[in-house]
Structure 1
């Protein structure tokens, strides 16, 4: 199985990416192919809302989204990774998700499987309510199949994260991908 990891954190060694490394470890033990795409360190412009694409045509913008589009269309599982910023995903990941608009019809008809990994400083479960609802709405709208989420609260630093139960949960979720 081909698994695409879309990283949305500007912190290469941050908590969300640390959790993702454990997820990848579990996935690779099942001999799946993993591709990582770091939207925070690629050039992905925000959607212009120009409607040129009509949800099923080429985007007028010429940036790294063309590469990400091909990866999303060619992989079986898409993993969205982000730190929690003000109760939502990072601006970098949001820009990439918004740009899915130009190939919504094709991508939604493929019934992709998805995973969501998010790390937050706050340890309250309620902290993740809005971002979880956003992810679930995306899954429903795009006809994705959710394979699981890691909503890691109390993971504000890599040290906090590495000592949390979420490390094992991320590994186990990766291991469960078949």
Structure 2
């Protein structure tokens, strides 16, 4: 299986990176190939809804990090998203990449699977409700099958995350993909 992992944290070694790493390790051990795209460390521009991608054969007006992501995204069997929750939704860095799916929205409407990995300091799901609803709406629109959501509650830093079984859950999710 070809997997694309899109992360949205500006912290290379933070809590969502730990979950992403664990998921990737499990997936690779199961024989899957993984392309990782760390959106926070890419040059990405916001979608302008200029319609060039839909009205010409020239594609997106921007020539940025999406040019690296798009071929992998289009070929992927599964797309995984990993993000911290800062303020009631996934990170702006991840949202920036997801908004740019617009240029390929027709091509992305193919059978794929999807995973969502979230980390947050809060101890309830209220803070993550926006991200979960966005994930559900996007996957419904694209026709993708949701195969896992891990919401790491009370994990505002690595020490808190390391006291939980969330990394093991992420590893097992990656390891048991079919």
Q: TM-score range by the shorter chain?
A: over 0.9
Structure 2: stretches of 5+ with no match in the other structure: none
Q: Would you say the 8 A contact 2:116–2:149 is kept in 1?
A: yes
Distance 1:2 1:56 in 2: 29
Tell me, in whole angstroms, the C-alpha distance in 1 between the residues paired with 2:56 and 2:29: 36
> Does the 8 Å CA contact 2:89/2:127 hold for their aligned counterparts?
no
Structure 2 residue matching 1:121: 3-state secondary structure: coil
What is the count of residue pairs matched by the alignment? 177
Task: Tell me which moved more, 117-126 or 10-19.
Answer: 117-126
CA gap of 1:31–1:120, structure 2 versus 1, over 3 A, is same
Separation in 2 of the partners of 1:44 and 1:26? 29
Deviations 1:49-94 (A, max 9, x none): 1122228951111111111111101221111111112111111110
Residue 91 (structure 2) aligns with: 90
Report the TM-score, using the length of structure 1 for normalisation. Answer: 0.94
- Give how far 1:127 is off: 2.4
Question: Runs ≥4 in structure 1, deviation > 4 angstroms?
Answer: none
Q: Secondary structure at the match of 1:53?
A: helix
Gap regions ≥5 residues in structure 1 = none
Question: Alpha-carbon deviation of 1:126?
Answer: 2.3
Conserved 8 A contact 1:5-1:35 = yes
**Aligned CA distance change for structure 1 residues 176 and 55 (closer, same or farther; 3 Å):** farther
Q: TM-score, normalised by structure 2?
A: 0.94
2:159 is matched with 159
